[in-house]
Amino acid sequence: MVVFTASGGLEGYQIYVHDRQTGTRRLASAASDGSMANDWSFAPSLSADGQTVAFYTYATNLADGDTNGRTDVYVRDFKAGTTTRVSGAPKDVEGDGSSGIPSISGDGRYVAFESTSANLVGDDTNRKSDIFVHDRTPGPEPRFALTDLDVSPSTVRPGLPVRITAQVKNVGEKTGGYDAVLRINGEVEQRQAVQVRADKAVRLSFDARRSDAGTYTVELGPLTGRFVVTG
């Protein structure tokens, strides 16, 4: 299977999948009813079996309620005969930014993409483009976002405690457990397991002590910080 972009006439560039064995060609940038996207489509990514294509588009006719005026990421599933937007926020809310450059996993389950939207997950406050992963498997699942790392005090005498805290929020749709792993200088220091309800947050808290003077790097999930033990 070969996926490519070609001119679709008045509707701009479109996405096609060509089967080299049968010589057949199918339109991927189409609505669930098969109608061609009404605007340009780009950057196709094809699953290993050639049955699922992710792409981004300016089109507004591929999903009901596409009114955000931005590019969105869609998945065309040839087996199911469906086209689904995957760059939306929870509870069927549209993304408030532009999404594009998708990459679909070999089995067609996961779609990674870039987006300037700030409402796809909780606490996205960096005002930058981020990378997101959408799981196409239906059903509510817990998903966690770790933020607000605090290491206090940042400078201590040997043997005195340093309090390390962070917030973990469940941005998914189902209660679930989060296993927090605190590392200091790359070594596992402590673990803490918490249950977090959907759309709720809890505060993680650890105490660490060091007797040797030096600078220590703290890692908690994707967050990093440091503290200094003076001589």
User: 119 and 177: one domain?
Assistant: no
User: 118 and 166: one domain?
Assistant: no
Q: Which of 135, 152, 169 lies at the terminal end of a domain, its last residue?
A: 135
Q: Is the pLDDT of residue 231 over 90?
A: no
User: 28 and 78: one domain?
Assistant: yes
pTM assigned to the model: 0.62
User: 127 and 47: one domain?
Assistant: yes
- The β-bridge relationship of strands 13-18 and 2-7 is antiparallel
Q: Which two tokens stand for residue 46?
A: 């094809």
Q: What is the pLDDT of residues 185-212, one digit of tens each?
A: 999 999 999 999 988 999 999 999 999 9
User: 81 and 58: one domain?
Assistant: yes
Domain range holding 114? 2-135
In whole angstroms, give the CA distance from residue 38 to residue 99: 17
User: 90 and 198: one domain?
Assistant: no
User: Which contacts of 131-138 are long-range, i.e. CB under 8 A and separated by 24 or more positions?
Assistant: 132/87, 134/73, 134/86, 134/87, 134/110, 135/109, 135/110, 136/75, 136/84, 136/86, 136/108, 136/109, 136/110, 136/111, 137/109
Q: What is the pLDDT of residues 53-92, one digit of tens each?
A: 999 999 999 988 899 999 999 999 998 889 999 999 887 7
The predicted structure's pLDDT at residue 63: 86
Query: Residue range 215-227: average pLDDT?
Result: 94
User: 123 and 68: one domain?
Assistant: yes
Count structural domains, the chain: 2
121 pLDDT band, cuts 50/70/90, is confident
User: 131 and 148: one domain?
Assistant: no
Q: Which of 135, 155, 180 lies at the terminal end of a domain, its last residue?
A: 135
Distance of CA 169 to the CA centre of its chain: 15
Q: What is the pLDDT of residues 4-19, one digit of tens each?
A: 999 877 788 999 999 9
User: 115 and 155: one domain?
Assistant: no
Q: Which two tokens stand for residue 20?
A: 């080299």
Residue 38: CATH number of its domain: 2.120.10.30
Strand ranges inside the chain, DSSP E? 2-7, 13-18, 25-27, 41-46, 52-57, 72-77, 82-85, 99-104, 110-115, 130-135, 144-152, 155-156, 162-170, 176-184, 187-196, 201-208, 214-220, 223-229
Q: Which of 110, 135, 160 lies at the terminal end of a domain, its last residue?
A: 135
Q: Is the pLDDT of residue 139 over 80?
A: no
Residue 165: CATH number of its domain: 2.60.40.10
User: 104 and 191: one domain?
Assistant: no
User: 203 and 163: one domain?
Assistant: yes
User: 127 and 153: one domain?
Assistant: no
In whole angstroms, give the CA distance from residue 226 to residue 155: 9
- Point out the least confidently predicted range of 1-10, 19-28, 100-109, 174-183: 1-10
